[in-house]
Structure 1
Amino acid sequence: MLTEQLKELKEMTDNEIDRMDKVDLVQRMLASIGDQDPELRDHLIYTNFAKLITEQHLTTPFMADILDICMDDDHLFYRIGDKETDAVFTRSFSALVVALILNEDVKGRFLSEAKAVEACENAVRYLLEEQDLRGFEEEKGWAHAVAHGADLLAVAVQHPAVKKESFYPKALDTLKHCILRENGVYTNEEDERLLMVIHYMFQRGMDPSLLEKWVDSIWTELQDKKEHGWSNEYFHMRRNITTFLKSLYFLPALIESAPDCREKIVAYITNDLKSLYQL
């Protein structure tokens, strides 16, 4: 039984893992990656993928094969566009495995340049196409598709295969798409996971002026939405934007690199509060 085998795997020594046949086990893990049982999906399948990948128990060709599977239409893009269905668990946890493998390639290149670029581009595509915004489901555990997609994009922006001058604006546009959602409010710290994408872009030398223009564009979108009336969609968008900007204000990289952007955030949110509540 897969559950029992994975429980045993968590307790195995490195030597025991290296002696076992992992191909069949990994294939069964991939087949159940989106299982509705949170114990199997999250605490056993994902954590054992993390163990096998980060502790280098899999060959690099095998990891490349796993990456291909996780990025296909039966995994990362499985029923993409669905809302409120269990398909989200397959997509979301496939994103985490892609992130694990791509991060190993950041540390020591083994993927082809084309495959690495494809994985980075798929990080963008996934967040643009994912429609299920649920965080935690009481009986089925974490869906967290946006957060897991953010984790993947945070790895992608660090990858040496991407060209910063073209990929960073694309990554910011993707974050903007996520933040400007009107069909739901993020409640499970998705804003902080999205924030990590900006953190790593700053670490790799992003021009602060690029972020300033991006903040301006987000705020303009909110004001345009406000012109159409105080709808439920407007307040969803406002909540997501202001929560994100408040978190962005405290990002250490922003404090160090973009003081003007921080001042702009303060001005925008202060003026918005004064306008909304007639202060």
Structure 2
Amino acid sequence: MTDWREIYETDCALPPGRRLDDLVAELAAALGDPDPEVRDGYPYAVLAAWIRRGVIDGERCLALGDLMAERFTDPRIEARTFAPLVLEMIVSQGSLRPEWLDAFAAWYRSEADLRGCDDTLGWLHAVAHGADLLATCGVRPDIDPEPLLVLAAERLLTPTDYLFAQREDDRLAKAVARILTRTDLTAERSTAWLSPIGAAFAALERGPMPVWVSNTARTLRALYLLADLGVSAERGGHPVPLAHGDAVKARVAEVLRPVLP
């Protein structure tokens, strides 16, 4: 059994006498482990460092990405929700297959278990983890941003009994805002994805607010703020303006009107 803490404390240096392929396989297994100390602990940190530094590159990165794409249909929620985090690491370094996006989209729009954190399994965070991958894919110039904006809307419109409690609304709003910084987007393309949400809000009947409506309204309010102030990729970073921030704000305000007091 590899001591990942020891590796982490040696600046994530490769341990002598170990095959990299064996270590990568062990890390891949750890990132789906039900023990949160394993899944979200030292193995996660080591994997992130090795991908970022190019220790895991080329065919190894592609194979790892293929495995994570397969995990979107894994019966274990902890495996499904950590797959986008690993894919985000890989895509950030340049590797991407179209089928990874297809697998991600199918999972993200339909995942039913949206719990932020579980007492036994630890962090799950399907919406937030998926949002991180959504943003990283959405700022790549070789990817059409509109289907990803539509995917964000589909995620919000999917009925759920889980009320966002762990800043999922902020994470998803930030992902959408980052996509909307793309200068190749027109004002119309920056706002068209909001139309299904507007139609759904307009059709609401009087009575208690459904959970999905609360989640969606809070996400859009956060997006309005980012459209006004700009969005940074990293916490504390320099905010970048949205390509059509005023148009986004106007459309978000219009969409939100039916659910405002």
Q: Is 1:186 the counterpart of 2:170 in the alignment?
A: no
Report the aligned-residue RMSD.
Answer: 2.4
Farther-moved stretch of structure 1 (121-130 vs 43-52)? 121-130
Distance 1:177 1:32, change over 3 A: same
- The two structures have a TM-score, normalised by structure 2, of 0.83
Cα drift, residue 67 of structure 1 = 1.3
- The correspondence of residues 172-251 of structure 1 with structure 2, limited to 5 A, is 172-184=149-161, 185-205=163-183, 206-224=185-203, 226-227=204-205, 229-230=206-207, 234-251=209-226
Match of 1:78 in 2: 74
Do residues 128 (structure 1) and 104 (structure 2) align? no
For the residue of structure 1 that corresponds to 2:74, the secondary structure is coil
Contact map agreement 1:127 1:150 (CA 8 A) in 2: no
Q: CA-to-partner distance for each residue in 1:183-223, whole Å, 9 max, x for gaps?
A: 22221111222223323322322222223333343122122
Cα pair 1:92 1:148 within 8 Å, conserved: yes
Distance 1:127 1:19 in 2: 40
* Higher alpha-carbon deviation: 27-36 or 170-179: 27-36
Q: Do the aligned partners of 2:153 and 2:194 also contact (CA within 8 Å) in 1?
A: no
- Go from structure 1 to structure 2 and tell me whether the alpha carbon gap of 1:208 and 1:27 turns closer, same or farther (over 3 Å shift): same
Q: Which residue of 2 aligns with 1:88?
A: 77
Q: Identify unmatched segments of 5+ residues in structure 2.
A: 232-240
Q: Give, in whole Å, the separation in 1 of the partners of 2:16 and 2:135.
A: 30
**1 CA distance for matches of 2:159 and 2:12?**
47
8 Å CA contact 2:112, 2:160 repeated in 1: no
**Alpha-carbon distance, 1:134 to partner:** 0.6
Matched residues in 2 for 1:129 and 1:271: separation? Answer: 26
Instruction: Flag the 1:97–1:255 CA change in 2: closer, same or farther, 3 A.
Output: closer
Contact 1:245 1:265 (C-alpha < 8 Å) held by counterparts = yes
TM superposition shift of 1:160: 3.9
- State whether residues 127 and 146 of structure 1, in contact with CA within 8 Å, keep that contact through their aligned partners in structure 2: yes
2:164 corresponds to which letter in structure 1? Y
- Measure the CA separation in 2 of the matches of 1:222 and 1:247: 17
Task: For residue 250 of structure 1, give the secondary structure of its aligned residue in structure 2.
Answer: helix
Would the aligned equivalents of 1:249 and 1:262 in 2 still touch at CA under 8 Å?
Answer: yes
1:142 to partner: Cα distance: 0.4
Supply the distance in 2 between the matched residues of 1:14 and 1:140 (Cα, whole angstroms): 26
Q: Is the 8 A contact 1:255 1:262 kept in 2?
A: no
What's the % identity of the aligned pairs?
Answer: 24
| Partner Cα distance (2:74, 2:152) in 1 | 22
1:58 and 1:201 mapped to 2: Cα distance? 27
Aligned 8 A contact 1:124 1:153 in 2: no
1:173/1:263 Cα in 2 relative to 1: closer, same or farther (>3 Å)?
Answer: closer
Counterpart position of 2:248: 261
User: Are residue 39 (structure 1) and residue 16 (structure 2) matched?
Assistant: no
Q: What does residue 277 of structure 1 align with?
A: none
- Quick check: 1:242–1:269 contact (8 Å CA) kept in 2? yes
Shift of 1:143: 0.5
CA contact (8 A) 2:180 2:242 kept: no
Rg larger for? 1
Deviation at 1:236, TM superposition (A): 0.8
Q: Distance in 1 between matches of 2:10 and 2:171?
A: 32
The offset of 1:267, in angstroms, is 4.9
SS in 1 for 2:139: coil
Match of residue 238 from structure 2 = none
One-letter amino acid matched to 2:21: V
Q: Distance in 2 between matches of 1:272 and 1:66?
A: 43
> Which is helix-richer, 1 or 2?
1
* 1:71-115 deviation per Cα after TM superposition (whole angstroms, max 9, x unaligned): 12xx23213xxxxxxx1110111221111111101xxxxx4xxx5
